[in-house]
Amino acid sequence: MSQYSNDVDAIASLRQAQGSAWAAINPEHAARMRAQNRFHTGLDIAKYTAKIMREDMAAYDKDSSQYTQSLGCWHGFIGQQKAISIKKHFGTMKKSYLYLSGWMVAALRSEFGPLPDQSMHEKTTVPMLIEELYTFLKQADAWELNHYFRDLEEAKEAGDDVAAKKAQEKIDNFETHVIPIIADIDAGFGNEEATYLLAKKMIEAGACAIQLENQVSDVKQCGHQDGKVTVPHSQFLAKINAVRYAFLEMGVDDGIIVARTDSLGAGLTQQIAVSNEPGDLGDQYNSFIAGEEIKDASEINPNDVVIKQSGKLVRLQRLASGLFEFRKGTGEDRVVMDCIASLQNGADLLWIETEKPHVKQIAGMVDRIREEVPNAKLVYNNSPSFNWTLNFRQQVYDAWSEEGKDVSAYDRDNLMDVKYDDTELGQVADEWTRDFQKEGAAKAGIFHHLITLPTYHTAALSTDQLSKGYFGDEGMLAYVKGVQRKELREGIATVKHQDMAGSNIGDDHKEFFSRESALKAGGKDNTMNQFG
């Protein structure tokens, strides 16, 4: 017996116990509303989605082809339409997540207006967006189920048992649009207490996975910009602990922490780490700071900062800003150290921010990490900050050069040129791009592939194309041909925008509440009927 049928019976018993006072209550309608609102709180969602992620992580450990994916979404409607599209095209939401990007919150959701990705936006905007995304995903459930319930009622009224059975099966086997969100908490927006407080709000809103980076929170930079400053491990691990405590306090015992390291591109540190004994994490962190050896104390000037590195006195290089530089070429070693320390101290997944999408480079670091933590797994940013076309064409060019293949027909520095689109190199590069996720999952430990900012770019591109035609010679044809006709022919639900926004659900509720006196919007004069 389905949950819906159980609810109908339970509510019928309640109605009977209340006598005539509940005579207007239809148990099927009440059970229908309950089915359309499965999740009552964000914590319900966080607990449900954490379980999904843990199961997916275990499945990936057994079979690397079982990787997961997400797209970054900056508005609830965008997230909703992404989920509806996945379900329409693939029949399931499995292995599909949402990503909440701090970059897009800063650029699109701050009350200050567009901001750079430097943690200047209101931190409360992050849990607000999580809540908004889940509000829209829950509405997608209600919208889809509403159609199935209408089909069921129509079939029963028509006496069509076959159609009624089909509709009932869709209701009983319904798969929710509510999927995990990996949510970006940047560098924690302050000290560890600030990180804990914000993490709690994010979890209350529904986040089952929180991504935290090892930059200094007050000078945080986008991972693809210069000037990144990392913190000693003790500070980062304290924030990992803060997020874990937040999960445990909220009862999400299997919440996921994604530890992001920016060390590959970060050449600066604000602080010298505290070290209690040679070889500890503090000592290892400090060993990478650039400096020059001095022979005795008489060489020390009043403003010098001097530490011991491998038993030698070293005067550290300090910039005018007061920051210290790491030695050039140490980024990968620092990444490996960051990742091992994070996994050994409470993190569940890793995020390595790289400067290019190169499977061999990522695999080289992951292999080193797995020497210490064999089941280490990555969340990887398939970033729009990469020029994917140029990167992969250059990768193919370099591979062919190493093989001794003639590449004289290609200019490596100008491979973005359109003239290379239909060449053998261009086609092979596209194949490598297509296979990047599969190859990365198999060879580089990438459990989750995401694109941080895709819907920022798609919104800009589609708006540009419509504006170009509508305000130009095409006029209204630009909208009809470029938008509405495609919606109709490709089965995009938004073509019936009133229905998508909940008009039919509202009409049905009015009928539940007011019965024959209900004033409904979906009559014969509703122009939405033109779309069938």
pLDDT in tens, 73-106: 999 999 999 999 999 999 999 999 999 999 999 9
The single residue listed with the structure tokens 């945080």 is: 220
The two beta strands, 209-213 and 256-261, are: parallel
3-class SS at 60?
A: helix
Q: What is the pLDDT of residue 1?
A: 60
Alpha-carbon distance of 261 to 183, in angstroms, equals 16
Please name the amino acid found at residue 111: E
The band of 507, judged by pLDDT with boundaries at 50, 70 and 90, is confident
pLDDT digits over 245-285, tens only? Answer: 999 999 999 999 999 999 998 899 989 999 999 999 999 99
Give the dihedral sign, CA 493/497/502/503. negative
Q: What is the pLDDT of residue 83?
A: 97
Name the strands in the sheet holding 324-325, side by side, starting at the edge strand that comes first in the sequence: 229-230, 268-269, 324-325
Alpha-carbon distance of 469 to 157, in angstroms, equals 47
3-state secondary structure 172-194: HCCCCCCCCEEEECCCCCCCHHH
* Segment holding 449, helix H or strand E: strand 446-451
Q: How many residues does the chain have?
A: 532
Apex 500 CA angle, 498 and 501, nearest 5 = 65
CB 314 within 8 A of CB 307: yes
Chain-centre distance for alpha carbon 46: 14
Cα 15 to Cα 10, 12, 28, 149, distances in angstroms: 9, 5, 11, 21
Q: What is the pLDDT of residue 513?
A: 81
Encoded tokens for 146: 């509403």
Please name the amino acid found at residue 160: D
CB atoms within 10 A of CB 478: 18
For the segment 36-40, the average pLDDT, to the nearest whole number, is 95
3-class SS at 68?
A: strand
Q: What is the pLDDT of residue 527?
A: 57
Q: What is the pLDDT of residue 302?
A: 80
The two beta strands, 378-381 and 268-269, are: unpaired
CB 337 within 8 A of CB 232: no
Buried b (16+ CB within 10 A) or exposed e, 336-350: bbbbbbbbebebbbb
In 93-243, which ranges are E strands? 96-100, 181-184, 209-213, 229-230
Encoded tokens for 492: 């995009």
Q: What is the pLDDT of residue 433?
A: 97
Residue 31 clears pLDDT 70, i.e. is over it:
yes
Note the pTM of the prediction, 2 decimals: 0.92
Encoded tokens for 289: 């700071």
pLDDT digits over 487-496, tens only? Answer: 999 999 988 8
The single residue listed with the structure tokens 């018993």 is: 13
In 245-387, which ranges are E strands? 256-261, 268-269, 291-293, 306-309, 312-316, 324-325, 349-352, 378-381
3-class SS at 253?
A: coil
Residue 222 bears catalytic tag: yes
Percent of the chain with pLDDT over 70: 95
pLDDT digits over 198-233, tens only? Answer: 999 999 999 999 999 999 876 656 555 556 899 999
CB 53 within 8 A of CB 99: no
Q: Which of 73, 208, 222, 339 is catalytic?
A: 222
3-class SS at 326?
A: strand
First to last CA, the chain: 34
Q: Provide the β-strand partners of residue 449.
A: 69, 380
Report the chain's mean pLDDT, rounded to a whole number.
93
